[in-house]
Amino acid sequence: MADLGAGSDALVLGQSLPLTGPSAQLGLEYQRGALAWFEEVNRRGGIHGRPIRLVSLDDQYEPSKTLENTRQLLQRQDLLALFGYVGTPTTKVALPLIEQASVPLVAPMTGASLLRRPDLEMVFNLRASYRLEIEAMVEELVRDANHRIAVVYQDDAFGQDGLTAATEALARHDLKPVATATVQRNSAQVGQAVRELLSVNPNGVIVVSAYVSSAALATQLRDEGSRAQIMNVSFVGTKALQQAMPVGEANGIGVAQVVPFPWNRWIPVVAQYQKLMRSSSDDPDFGFTSLEGFLAARLVTTALDRAGKDPSRPDLVAALESINDLDLGGFRLDMDREDHQASDFVELTFLGSQNWEP
C-alpha cells in the first residue's frame, strides 16, 4: 500500500490500481504522475491549508481484489473520494458499492461506456471514451484503404465494450469485422487469436486489451509475416507496450491517446508536468499514462479548492459539476450536472524506431 500525506487534517482520497503483477506498469505510471502534482500541492501548503492524502491499494488488475480494496476504503471514516481506479473490469465490480455509498469516483483510467451511463451520479471521467478512440482508429484505417479489419479484444467488460464500439464504427462505413478473437486479461497466451487472424489475413487490426496480451499479439503477428496495421486503445499504455516488445517490433503500431503529447513542452500544462516529474520522481521519464495521472490530479484538486476548507462529499460533487470550460494550460475540461465527461480529446500516434522524445 502506498500512502501519501499522513495527518488527521488531510483530505483523503482512496484508489485501487495494479501496483504489482503483469499489468503493474499501468498503475505505477498513473500513480507516479498523480503523486507529482499532489506532492507539489502539499509543498505549497495543501488545499485551504489541508494536505492531500492518497491511499493506494494494489489490486493487480483483478476484479476480486478491487472489490475487496473498495470495501476497505469505504469503511474509512475520513475518506472524501475515490480517485484514479485503473481498468474497466476492476472498476465495474466496484460501481454498485460506490454509487450506494454516494462517494465520488474521480478520473478512473478507463474509457468504457459503462462508466458513462447517465444514471451514474458519482462517476466523474477525465478521459475520452473508448468509443471515440475506436471511431478515430476506424476513420484512419478506412482512409488508408484498409477495409479488411479484424478486432481482438480482452475477454471481459473492457474488451466487450471495445468490440461493440468497433462493430458500430465499422458499420458506419458499411463494413463488418473480418474476424474477432479474444485474449485473456494479464496473459501473453495469444496463439489462438494469432491463428484466427492469420487465417483471414486482415490489413487492419483493432486491439482492445492491456499491454501484456497486446505486446504478445503484435510480436507474434510480425514474426509470422503479417503487415496489418495494428491499432491499440489508449489503455494499452504506450511506454509499457514498447518495453514489452522486442526492439524494433513495435515500429508503426498505432496507439490512440487521450492526453496531449508528453514531450511537447510548448503546451503549458505539459511543461509543468515535465518540471514536476523531474523534481519529484526517481524515474523522470515522461509518458502518456503518467501525464493522464497528473491531469487527473489537477482535476480533483481544482474541485477540492472550489469545495471549500471543510468539504463534504456533496460539496465535492457540486464542485466537480461546476468545472465548465476550464483551461489547465492547453488541456480543457468541461463538466456539468448532466455531463460528467471532462474531456473528449483523442489523438492517434504511431510508434517509431526512435524514442518518443524529439
Task: Give a yes or no: residue 350 inside a domain.
Answer: no
Average pLDDT, the chain: 94
Say if residue 252 is in the same domain as residue 302. no
Could you read off the pLDDT of 224-270 as tens digits, one per residue? 999 999 999 999 988 889 889 987 888 899 999 999 999 999 999 99
Could you read off the pLDDT of 90-132 as tens digits, one per residue? 999 999 999 999 999 999 999 999 999 999 999 999 999 999 9
Say if residue 80 is in the same domain as residue 119. yes
Is residue 320 within 8 A of residue 336, CB to CB? The reply is: no
Task: Give a yes or no: residue 111 inside a domain.
Answer: yes
What pLDDT is attached to residue 358?
34
Is residue 218 within 8 A of residue 161, CB to CB? The reply is: no
Task: Give a yes or no: residue 356 inside a domain.
Answer: no
Say if residue 7 is in the same domain as residue 123. yes
Task: Give a yes or no: residue 244 inside a domain.
Answer: yes
Task: Give a yes or no: residue 352 inside a domain.
Answer: no
Task: Give a yes or no: residue 272 inside a domain.
Answer: yes
- Given 230, 257, 284, the domain boundary residue is 257
Say if residue 160 is in the same domain as residue 245. yes
- Given 236, 257, 278, the domain boundary residue is 257
Say if residue 101 is in the same domain as residue 167. no
Say if residue 251 is in the same domain as residue 320. no
Task: Give a yes or no: residue 349 inside a domain.
Answer: no
CATH code, domain with 292: 3.40.50.2300
Say if residue 176 is in the same domain as residue 197. yes
Say if residue 162 is in the same domain as residue 102. no
* Local confidence band at 356 (pLDDT 50, 70, 90 cut-offs): very low
Q: Which domain holds residue 220?
A: 130-257
Task: Give a yes or no: residue 357 inside a domain.
Answer: no
Say if residue 95 is in the same domain as residue 63. yes
Other residues' Cβ atoms within 10 Å of the Cβ of residue 206: 30
Residue, of 15 and 23, whose pLDDT is higher: 15
What pTM was estimated for this model as a whole?
0.93
Say if residue 105 is in the same domain as residue 171. no
Angstrom distance (rounded) from CA 121 to CA 129: 17
Say if residue 272 is in the same domain as residue 123. yes
Say if residue 192 is in the same domain as residue 253. yes
